[in-house]
């Protein structure tokens, strides 16, 4: 029954032959993007902080890194890593890293991580700079430690600004990850190309487009949840009347010290 | 702005109608350009190779003006169907799957599949059992990729597919692949040049002799007849042999 309905919109023969492989492809794409985005986020945050550092060497290094990785195509970076560094087999065997550079999967992961780190670094830098100076000064005046100021005061507020651009970057990464198929990885695009080369049926590219769309839609929804969570203190008045009452009482008492 | 768009649109319309109406006097032929010695880019970024010479000889015989363009392998059949060009002379093996999409002329050469391996490889022969647990590379969307996936892959090998043969060769030289499967002559050519230090030919794969033909759209019956006649003619008058001797020391027809 469900099958008959499905048959109205998609080619069932193709579905039987390639359905599971497409799901595998979605999983591979999701893993590749998730892992590299998270690792890239950690590296990006460090680079973003280095950009704002008072140390000239750090500023210079992170500036050069971002300049290179944002300024050259991801495809070129991937090929440099995969074919360029991959050709130095003797060297990698000597340093015990050949197992890493042998695998297309690790090479792609590394290339994507390094690339997204550059973009995320700029997003974090912008977010951190958008936090008003007074916030830091006030926290310092309360005697807070620098690390605590960053973790409790600056970073949460920077994230409100950074969240949307980060979501953008993640969505761009999902789509850019299709180039992993060029270095033998069977991600969603790799599977699509494989299935297409066997059947020459354009419908398969439509499947791929829809599956990418679904991934992006999931991210969009996840980001909406994250944003609500991060900005919940800004909306208390509207959505949480009990706490709003508590807040306004606090505010009133704070405004009228003599009351 | 609107006028410019309109003018551009009329231009494109004009060009396409011209191309379809005048197939007889002027045809566009596509090749890949990454499959030496059959088709490759020379240092001036011009297409060269056995396929290109054959295509030019055929055009001369048919007395039509030919333009030869380079097209990525993965999209070469869809582009033919979309009328970006009229024929594919790119060492395309005649297969049943492709025949459902395009029409083929008679063969213009024959080749078996072979395996290339690193010089110190422990792989003894080209049998499925010998490749079990090994990584086998091939160019995607080709007969050898189907062989790598369906025969070696089902026998327990890991099949890796590359957009071009050059990339599969590079990974064999890098040591990422235990073996590369491709047309014999392509491997022989590579092993004569950049692959000579790393790798060797293991041998032909039994039962894989296949024919390369020229792909055209199904409706172009006249072009098919003309090409078939031209192939017969160049084989008969020695032109074919002259071209063949430029690239190979043996008969490939």
Quick one: DSSP state of residue B138? E
Domains of chain B by residue range: 2-111+210-247, 113-204
The verdict on residue A104 lying in a domain is: yes
Q: A212-226, A245-259, B47-61, B187-201 — which is least confidently predicted?
A: A245-259
Domain holding A55, by residue range, is 17-255
pLDDT per position as a tens digit, B124-164: 999 999 999 999 999 999 999 999 999 999 999 999 999 99
pLDDT per position as a tens digit, B81-123: 999 999 999 999 999 889 999 999 999 999 999 999 999 999 9
SS3 state of residue B248: coil
Closest residue in A to B74 (Cα) is A197
Spatial separation of the C-alpha atoms in residues B179 and B133, rounded to whole Å: 11
In order, the DSSP letters of A171-197 are HHHHHHGGGGGGGT--SHHHHHHHHHH
Q: How many domains does chain A have?
A: 1
The per-residue pLDDT for B20 is 46
Residue B4 pLDDT > 70: no
Spatial separation of the C-alpha atoms in residues A230 and A223, rounded to whole Å: 10
Spatial separation of the C-alpha atoms in residues A104 and B153, rounded to whole Å: 18
Spatial separation of the C-alpha atoms in residues B130 and A113, rounded to whole Å: 37
Closest residue in B to A102 (Cα) is B176
The per-residue pLDDT for A1 is 73
Chain B residues 70-99 within an 8 A CB cutoff of chain A: 74, 77-78, 97-98
Q: Percent of chain A beyond pLDDT 90?
A: 78
The verdict on residue A218 lying in a domain is: yes
The verdict on residue A108 lying in a domain is: yes
B30 sits in which H/E element: strand B26-31
Contacts of A89 in chain B (CB under 8 A): 174-175
Spatial separation of the C-alpha atoms in residues B95 and B210, rounded to whole Å: 9
pLDDT per position as a tens digit, A165-217: 999 999 999 999 999 999 999 999 999 999 998 888 889 999 999 999 999 99
| B160:A102 CB<8 A | no
Spatial separation of the C-alpha atoms in residues B43 and B32, rounded to whole Å: 16
Q: Which CATH number is A158's domain given?
A: 1.10.3720.10
Contacts of B170 in chain A (CB under 8 A): 83, 87
Architecture of the CATH domain B2-111+210-247: 3-Layer(aba) Sandwich (3.40)
Architecture of the CATH domain B113-204: 3-Layer(aba) Sandwich (3.40)
The verdict on residue A137 lying in a domain is: yes
In order, the DSSP letters of B108-129 are EEEE-EEEEEETT----SSSTG
ipTM of the complex: 0.75
The verdict on residue A90 lying in a domain is: yes
Residue B1 pLDDT > 70: no
Q: A15-19, A106-110, A160-164 — which is least confidently predicted?
A: A15-19
């Amino acid at each position: 029954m469900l099958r008959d309905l499905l048959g109205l919109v998609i080619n069932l023969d193709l579905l039987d032959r390639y359905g599971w492989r497409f799901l595998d492809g979605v999983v591979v794409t999701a893993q590749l993007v998730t892992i590299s985005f998270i690792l890239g986020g950690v590296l990006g945050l460090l680079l973003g902080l280095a950009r704002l550092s008072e140390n000239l060497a750090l500023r210079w290094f992170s500036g050069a890194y971002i300049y290179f990785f944002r300024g050259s195509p991801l495809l070129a970076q991937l090929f440099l890593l995969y074919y360029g560094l991959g050709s130095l087999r003797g060297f990698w065997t000597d340093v015990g890293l050949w197992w890493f550079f042998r695998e297309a999967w690790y090479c792609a992961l590394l290339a994507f991580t390094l690339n997204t780190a550059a973009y995320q670094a700029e997003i974090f830098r912008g977010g951190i700079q958008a936090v008003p100076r007074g916030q830091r000064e006030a926290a310092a005046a309360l005697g807070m430690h620098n690390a605590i100021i960053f973790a409790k005061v600056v970073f949460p507020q920077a994230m409100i600004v950074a969240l949307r651009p980060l979501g953008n970057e993640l969505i761009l990464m999902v789509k850019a990850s299709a180039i992993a198929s060029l270095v033998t990885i069977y991600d969603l695009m790799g599977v699509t190309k494989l299935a297409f080369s066997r059947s020459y049926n354009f419908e398969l590219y439509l499947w791929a487009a829809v599956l990418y769309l679904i991934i992006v839609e999931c991210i969009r929804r996840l980001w909406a949840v994250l944003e609500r969570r991060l900005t919940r203190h800004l909306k208390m008045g509207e959505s949480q009347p009990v706490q709003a009452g508590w807040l306004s009482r606090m505010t009133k008492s704070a405004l009228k010290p003599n009351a | 702005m609107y006028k410019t768009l309109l003018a551009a649109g009329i231009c494109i319309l004009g060009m396409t109608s011209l191309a379809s109406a005048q197939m007889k006097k002027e045809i566009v032929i596509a090749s890949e350009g990454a499959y030496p010695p059959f088709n490759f880019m020379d240092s001036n970024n011009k297409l060269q190779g056995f396929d290109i010479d054959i295509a030019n000889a055929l055009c001369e015989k048919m007395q039509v003006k030919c333009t030869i363009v380079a097209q990525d392998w993965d999209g070469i059949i869809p582009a033919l169907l979309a009328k970006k060009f009229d024929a594919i002379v790119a060492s395309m093996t005649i297969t049943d799957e492709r025949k459902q999409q395009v029409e083929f002329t008679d063969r213009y050469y024959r080749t078996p599949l072979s395996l290339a391996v690193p010089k110190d490889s422990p792989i003894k022969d080209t049998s499925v059992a010998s490749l079990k647990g090994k990584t086998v590379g091939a160019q995607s969307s080709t007969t050898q990729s189907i062989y790598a996936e369906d025969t070696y892959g089902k026998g327990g090998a890991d099949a890796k597919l590359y957009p071009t043969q050059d990339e599969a060769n590079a990974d064999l030289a890098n040591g990422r692949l235990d073996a590369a499967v491709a047309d014999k002559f392509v491997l022989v050519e590579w092993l004569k040049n950049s692959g000579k230090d790393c790798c060797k030919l293991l041998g032909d794969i039994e039962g894989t002799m296949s024919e390369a033909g020229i792909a055209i759209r199904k409706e172009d019956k006249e072009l098919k007849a003309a090409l078939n006649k031209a192939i017969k003619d160049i084989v008969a008058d020695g032109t074919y042999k002259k071209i063949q001797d430029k690239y190979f020391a043996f008969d490939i027809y």
